[in-house]
Structure 1
Amino acid sequence: MGAIKKLFKLKDKANSQEAYSSTEEAREQIRITYYQSGYGASTKASGCSINLGVCLKNLYYSFEDLCRKQLNEQERLKQPYIEEQEKQRTELKKRETALSIYEDQKNDLISTIDKQKFEMIDVKQNPEVYGIQDVDKRPKAQFYIGLGLLLPITIYLFVFYISASYSAFFKNFETDSLTAAIFDANALKLSLSHGWLEAIFIITIPFVFMGLGYLIHMFQKNKKFISYVKLAALLILTFMFDVILAYLIEKKIFDFDRVLGETFSPSIAIESVNFWGIIFAGFVVYLIWGLVFDFVMKEHENVDKIKTFIRGKKEEIKNTELKKSDLLIKVDIIKQEVTSINGKISELQSKIDGFVFPVKEYLHYHYQYKEGWFQSINEVLALPAKSKDELKTKCETVSLDHLKELNLENMDFQHLVFTKN
């Protein structure tokens, strides 16, 4: 064992650049020392395979103990693990920074979604806060009341203009009754008897007035001088159409009652109560319809402004939720990477805390020791050749069992790391 201690002292010196200027020369000296140590131990033990097993164990544990004590050498061997650990820590900082940013973004998105949901509720109470002006906070009742009034007035105008138009253009009067002149329950049926073109003409006249009423509403939305001019023109046009209808009906009533020699004139129409009754039954009701229609449309627009705002917020929430989902996926990926990197750092730290066993170097010395052992058997022992071969075979078996026990058999890598648990 004294030779082995000297051997390791030589190895220590081989690791010191001050003691040896040539690493290769030092390694060769160590190899020779192992060879000589094996040779000498075999000579003393007469090549006994049992003694070889004990010597190989002592050799291994002495070599392992030396590796643990060689701090400078261990530091050099561990340097790749230290560098890799620093690299992993840098990657960990990057992931933690990214995770912090993603978490802040996630919290911002959650706050945005909560704000958008609150705005969807609050806009009904405080529409002006969200830039929705001239909106009644309770438009529903007024809207439905206006709509309820608009429907029967619309029906009235359809009946009036269908009947009045038929009376003015196609009807042959059989009475001078104003009611019969304005309202004829069989106006549609009788207009069909004159032909389908006449029927279409009578049916579509109310839609002309509805269209004029819609245009009046649209012109009122634009607070410009030209809009007011157009609005006045439409009202005059509608009034003139009603005047024409009233004039034609009044003329037919006059012709039914006229005395021989009398002729109808505009002055007679203007002085007739029936003439103005027809105009007011049509035009005044039409104005009422236009005002109610305008009111209902404004109320609907009020409701629609809020609904449009809410629809926009729902779309914003949907888009924000998608961003949040994508962000959560990124957060999960980053967290998995952080866990993986922490695991690598812990694994590297366990290697750094342990020690690095130079496998190739030990095997090299192991075989040198075994070579010296076998050489002693060949040269020193006075045994028959067959007995020497049998002894060497036993020693070879002991050597292989020793390596198997250490899990160093067929080892193809340079270093083995013993971690500290």
Structure 2
Amino acid sequence: MQKRRSVAFHTLGCKLNFSETSTLSRLLEADGFEKKDFDDNADVYVINTCSVTDNADKECRQIVRRIQRKAPESLVVITGCYAQLKPTEIAAIPGVDLVLGAAEKFNITQHLKDLHKNDSAKICSCDIEAVTGFNTSFSVNDRTRTFLKVQDGCDYSCSFCTIPMARGKSRSDSIDNVIRNAATLAAKGVKEIVLTGVNLGDFGKGPDGEKHTQDFYELIQELDNVEGIERYRISSIEPNLLTNEIIQFVAESKRFMPHFHIPLQSGSNKILGLMRRRYRRELYAEKVAVIKQFMPHCAIGVDVIVGFPSEDEAAFNETFEFLHNLDVSYLHVFTYSERDNTKALNIEPVVPVHTRHERNKILRNLSYQKLQYFTAQHAGQTRKVLFEDHNKNGMMEGYTDNYIRITTPYRNEWANEIVEWKI
């Protein structure tokens, strides 16, 4: 009897990657593989990479070296954005056996059938222009909250970003298929779905790039009617695509949570222009004001990049003051790092790395203050918390509808349940 092969996964990067890793895992388990934890010994290790920052690239290389030390005979497969952008570079890392680009990621079972440990890695990739298909992905049993991919790729051309080169043009699932997936997840006992994509607000383009007749606003209207799913969150949406009708719908919905994550990237219009963003700070402030008008209790998260080329002290202070005065709840702060083949490489002057790190610390501190203030505003209120099924040293965590994290001693009966909680 042939021994059942085992596989372990490691995911770098965004919620979209987590949804895809979960789907790859189900594909291999259906093909007879036994799933193992990444720290265990496995016959195959799959690393789903990110390439948004230089750290993600470095982390991938470090993980491969770690596998080589503990399991030198195991197969190592690299996929994800880094694999699409730099397949030859990855194939040269000692220990890597297979590199799967964007078009081949979901053909992993076929590629593993005839793969053997040898001296040179096999590259299965193509030009990103040839990537036009959409692969449905969602995470199950990995987290209490499930990430459901409804959109992929991006047609924007921000000067700092490699995502269009790594994931291709914007394309979406159909609304009918998204609804079917949501119903499937509801039947599995999932309480909360996080809608994910590269550019969610651009939902509506089919796999061939043709425009559907339906858009993101119509998608969320349909999802609101799926029985069994108690919560939805919108993972991230561009400010220029966040319409007032979407905001008003979320405010009136019982299932869509009062929580938006809206990329800003800079509070300086000069820097936004150099970044080739499709809005200015005035529009961003207007969207925050509309959200707070309809939902004063709404959590608003912000992506911001520090150290972008030509960001002088005045431009950074503009960003700081803009965020300081804005009624937002927390920040995700990214330190700018140079990415090959991006237009930002031609912008000068370059901000010294130590200055980038100093500015990162300043905004992280502001984020801490913002979150403390937002949480304090709700002290004494009773809000609904969905607790996760993870026992962390006798403690468990959950989130209120408006994304305030709650920690309490672990109680088994609260796992994956929504509990009324006084903050």
TM-score after normalising by structure 2: 0.17
Higher relative contact order (CA closer than 8 Å, sequence separation 6+):
1
Higher strand share: 2
TM-score by length of 1: 0.17
Structure number with bigger Rg:
1
